[in-house]
Amino acid sequence: MRKHSLFCLAIVGACLFLLVGYNDQSKKVHHSKMISVAHRGASSLAPENTLAAFHKAVELRADYLETDVHLSKDGELIIMHDDKIDRTTNGSGYIKEMTLAELKELDAGGTFGREFEGESIITLNELLEEFYDQVGFLIELKNPKNYPGIEEKVVELVKDYYEFSSIIIQSFDADSMMKVHTLLPEIEVAVLIHPSESLLSAKRLDELTSFASYINFNVSFVSKRTVDNVHKRGSKVLVWSKKDKRLVSKAQKFGVDGIISDFSAWPTDEPIYLVQE
């Protein structure tokens, strides 16, 4: 009987060991230092929101890839900043009026540089599949009110990845982020604060931090006091900026938790902070 108990204990122990070992394979970002987020990928070095920009960001040891998501006419999650394809591709029109097949015909690299011709528009699914075991993701829902059901689609997709990779969903639309939080509380959400609304009342901060793990600002429109007020409520702050080192040092002085910049190696040149090497 005693032997039998010991045998059962050993089996349980082995299962726990395997389980813990399995979880250790995840590529969760360890938030002990200021994190470096590549804005639309390393978008100062390669065409924004393309595989080239994301590969460059990973090569430069970004902790997270920031990206923007819309819905195509046939309901696919499309990665692009603007709601129109005009600025970054050789086509013209709204993403929501085109099918994925039509979008895939376009060139998304040539407007940045001839050496990038042939880059195509990608889906959120393709992005996650390509990088989920290498880096975290900061996924912005662009104007979600224009895309009914986008929250459900994104949640359904990231469910397959969040155990392996750090994922944050963000938007300027706080209601949309509340919805994502309700649909999948295990996923962290962030509310982006528009510069015109950066003077947040204590009541508004209480509301936002009740569900948002991050409150994110343009670095020019945040104060140390605001950062402290977010931290006091248990949430974190990311700021976005381009390559203005003065602003970054300001952000560091304010004690923000990370910077979203177009050049992912900067400002943190140190190795990425992954639990499992």
Sites of contact with ligand G3P (CB under 6 A): 39, 66, 68, 81, 140, 192, 240, 260
Q: Is 39 a catalytic residue?
A: yes
Cβ(209)–Cβ(183) under 8 Å? no
Size of the site for Ca ion (CB under 5 A): 2
Q: Which is nearer to ligand G3P, 39 or 70 (CB)?
A: 39
Q: Which is nearer to Ca ion, 68 or 257 (CB)?
A: 68
- Minimal distance in Å, beta carbon 66 to Ca ion? 6
Cβ(24)–Cβ(275) under 8 Å? yes
Stretch that binds Ca ion, among 63-71, 72-80, 158-166, 203-211 (CB under 5 A): 63-71
Q: Which is nearer to ligand G3P, 74 or 244 (CB)?
A: 244
What is the C-alpha to C-alpha distance for residues 160 and 158, in angstroms, rounded to an integer?
Answer: 5
**How far are the Cα atoms of 124, 181, 236, 254, 267 from residue 35, in angstroms, in the given order?**
22, 22, 11, 14, 9
- Catalytic hit among 31, 55, 81, 231: 81
The DSSP call for residue 275 is: S
Q: Which is nearer to ligand G3P, 3 or 66 (CB)?
A: 66
- Minimal distance in Å, beta carbon 103 to ligand G3P? 19
**How far are the Cα atoms of 15, 209, 241 from residue 134, in angstroms, in the given order?**
26, 29, 24
- Catalytic hit among 4, 30, 31, 39: 39
- Minimal distance in Å, beta carbon 140 to ligand G3P? 6
Q: Closest Cα partner for 126 from 151, 94, 148, 100?
A: 100
Residue with tokens 């090497």: 277
What is the C-alpha to C-alpha distance for residues 113 and 92, in angstroms, rounded to an integer?
Answer: 19
Q: Which does 192 bind (CB under 5 to 8 A by kind): Ca ion, ligand G3P, none?
A: ligand G3P
Give every CB contact of residue 46 below 8 A, 6+ residues apart in sequence.
52, 53, 55, 56, 109, 112, 116
The answer to whether 140 contacts Ca ion (rule: CB under 5 A) is: yes
- Minimal distance in Å, beta carbon 169 to Ca ion? 12
Determine which residue in the list 48, 63, 68, 119 makes contact with Ca ion, applying CB under 5 A: 68
Stretch that binds Ca ion, among 12-20, 25-33, 67-75, 117-125 (CB under 5 A): 67-75
Q: Which is nearer to Ca ion, 139 or 274 (CB)?
A: 139
Q: Is 194 a catalytic residue?
A: no
The answer to whether 262 contacts Ca ion (rule: CB under 5 A) is: no
By three-state DSSP, how is residue 84 classified? strand
Instruction: Please name every residue paired with 190 in a beta bridge, in sequence order, or none if there are none.
Output: 170, 214
Please identify every residue annotated as catalytic. 39, 81
Binding site for Ca ion (CB under 5 A): 68, 140
